[in-house]
Amino acid sequence: MKGVIALTLLGALVAVPTHAQPQNAKEQEVLKAVRALEEASVTKKDRGIMERYYADEYVYTHSNGTVLNKAQEIATIMSPDQAWTAYKLDDLKARIYGNVAIATGLLTLTGSSKAYLSGSRRFTEVWVRRNGRWQMVGGQTTLVPTK
């Protein structure tokens, strides 16, 4: 009887770190994707990376109330009317729910845009893991009030 209890406890102890590690690895994958997409869309205007990370059914509600699909988002980013010179990501977090992730953080944009204000905004993004990679299916951004 003591042997069964000992084996059960040992099995539980071994299983917990094994389960926790993939969760953390998935969180890191999502955060890496968030950072790569932000760099591609804000300063590099890299259409290839955006095409890869934005899902075909992507829909995003921006801080100015505009709702854009994938094609509209990429066109807006590629436009000369949007000229961000720098960005900063803070308070970046990801929560994993199987093949779905919720990423949140604080994005501060420097530069200019015809349609958007520079400054800080809070964001929430929904990412889905498909074919071994993460894609953003949508999200929402809210301006942080200046003090």
Domains located in the chain, CATH noted:
2-143 (3.10.450.50)
Q: Poorest-confidence range of 9-18, 56-65, 108-117?
A: 9-18
Burial 45-70 (b: 16+ CB within 10 A, else e): bbeebbebbbbeebbbebbeeeebeb
Residue 147, pLDDT score: 77
Note the pLDDT tens digit of each residue in 99-121.
Answer: 999 999 999 999 999 989 999 99
Cβ neighbours, 10 Å, residue 8: 10
The number of angstroms, rounded, from the C-alpha of 139 to the middle of its chain's C-alpha atoms is 9
Note the pLDDT tens digit of each residue in 29-45.
Answer: 999 999 999 999 999 99
Asked whether the beta carbons of 113 and 131 are under 8 A apart, the reply is no
